Amino acid sequence: MISDASKVNTEDLEDALDDLAHDLGKYIHLPLSLLPNEATDSEFRAAAVKALLETRRGPSGTQSAQTIWSQFRDEVGNELEGKPGWTGVVQAVDHALAWASKIRVTAHELDRAELMNDLTAVTPAIRTLRSQLDG
């Protein structure tokens, strides 16, 4: 948890959101954005798996988008509840994470444009909330 309930440190929340924008927002769409336009369905699906299930790699191993999001939620607790922009972040991340179950089913055809839109919507939602905390 970032702080105790009596002392909410806005700077800590801003730092946590900056980390989330980097660890989740950036990496959740990176594998797909690196694909050429003519990528096959198989290549696209592999990139989607990497984006959602192997989102962040570091010295401590590989983390999925769901794990990164859960760790963030554990860190900030309820400190962002009711803040303008929080609902937008939750909705953007929920839409993005919903693709994880779809990519596991190889018979399920992936809508490339919709998937990319959902994954790239995470960063702007985080940045909107972050900028609202500044103001």
Number of domains within the chain: 1
Q: Residue 105: what pLDDT?
A: 77
Asked, for residue 99, whether it belongs to a domain, the answer is yes
Which tens digit of pLDDT belongs to each residue from 30-79? 999 999 989 998 899 999 999 999 999 888 899 999 999 999 999 999 99
User: Is residue 93, in this structure, part of any structural domain at all?
Assistant: yes
Q: Is the pLDDT of residue 6 over 50?
A: no
CA angle at 73 for the pair 70 and 78, rounded to the nearest 5° = 155
Does residue 127 sit within a domain?
Answer: yes
What is the per-residue DSSP string for 93-114? HHHHHHHHHHHT-TTSPP-HHH
Q: What is the pLDDT of residue 86?
A: 97
- Please tell me which residue, 7 or 21, carries the higher pLDDT value: 21
Position 46 in a domain: yes
Nearest in space to 41 (alpha carbons), one of 100, 96, 108: 108
> Is 42 inside a domain boundary?
yes
Q: Could you tell me the pTM of the whole model?
A: 0.89
| 123 domain-assigned | yes
Q: What average pLDDT does the segment 18-34 reach?
A: 95
Q: Which domain, by its residues, includes 125?
A: 10-134
- Mean model confidence pLDDT for the chain: 90
Residue 1 lies inside a defined structural domain of this protein: no
For the CA atoms of 80, 82, 86, 90, what is the dihedral angle to 10 degrees?
Answer: 100
Residue 4 counted as domain residue: no
